[in-house]
């Protein structure tokens, strides 16, 4: 079966709280800046989902990535840093007003609030290259915590056809989180002919 014809079960119950968990939204922007209001009304091409991220500068860099690609950033708690962490602000400050950042209590709260049509997971345990996927607008691309990656039960629910791996040399262990997000999102955007770019 070709990928675009396949269906999948979106993981719905990982983390604390279950489907009744409430979502908390945090829009990182300066209230007086117009581009943030325009960006918030636009439908994002992709959703970048960081599952329990641990390192503030990586998340800050991904805020910049989202600002430049039109992706929307979702953070699944618990986070390994405070949202007012100066390292987060330093990495993403110049761009935070142009991107939308939303926090969710757990994975179930994200699924309940966002109802993603398709979930793609990035893992060193994946067997399919990120470049072999046919990306679609609205895809939710999930990246795990820097020190341990996505849980095995999460990957099992997503399934092997939707668990992607970035090719690396055999002796390499992993790629920095913000670099991995940039590699995947730019490939996805390229496949859609950089829609919305100038």
Across 36-57, average pLDDT: 77
d(CA 86, CA 92): 10
Tell me the pTM. Answer: 0.78
92 lies in some domain: yes
**pLDDT number for residue 82:** 86
Q: Is 196 among the domain residues? A: no
Domain assignment present for 197: no
Tell me, yes or no, whether 90 lies in a domain. yes
- Whether 98 is covered by a domain: the verdict is yes
With respect to residue 88, please indicate whether it lies within any of the assigned structural domains: yes
Residue 101: inside a domain: yes
Report the range out of 13-17, 66-70, 88-92, 146-150 with the highest average pLDDT: 146-150
How many Cα atoms are found within 13 Å in the side-chain-facing hemisphere of 4? Answer: 4
143 lies in some domain: yes
Report the CATH number at residue 25. 3.40.1280.10
In this model, does residue 4 exceed pLDDT 60?
Answer: no
Question: The tokens of 81 are what?
Answer: 């840093």
Domain range for 140 is 3-191
Number of domains in the chain: 1
């Amino acid at each position: 079966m070709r990928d675009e014809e396949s269906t999948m079960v979106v993981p719905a119950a990982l983390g604390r709280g279950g489907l009744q968990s409430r979502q908390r939204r945090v829009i990182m922007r300066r209230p007086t800046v117009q581009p943030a209001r325009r960006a918030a009304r636009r439908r994002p091409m992709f959703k970048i989902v960081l599952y329990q991220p641990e390192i503030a500068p990586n998340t800050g860099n991904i805020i910049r990535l989202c600002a430049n690609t039109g992706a929307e950033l979702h953070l699944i708690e618990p986070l390994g840093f405070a949202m007012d962490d100066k390292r987060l602000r330093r990495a993403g400050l110049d761009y935070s007003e142009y991107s939308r950042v939303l926090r969710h209590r757990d994975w179930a709260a994200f699924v309940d609030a966002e109802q993603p049509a398709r979930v793609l997971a990035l893992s060193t345990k994946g067997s399919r290259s990120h470049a072999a996927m046919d990306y679609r607008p609205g895809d939710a691309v999930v990246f795990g915590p820097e020190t341990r990656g996505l849980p095995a039960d999460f990957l099992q629910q997503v399934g092997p056809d939707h668990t992607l791996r970035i090719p690396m040399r055999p002796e390499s262990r992993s790629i920095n989180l913000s670099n991995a997000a940039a590699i995947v999102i730019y490939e996805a955007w390229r496949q859609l002919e950089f829609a919305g770019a100038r």
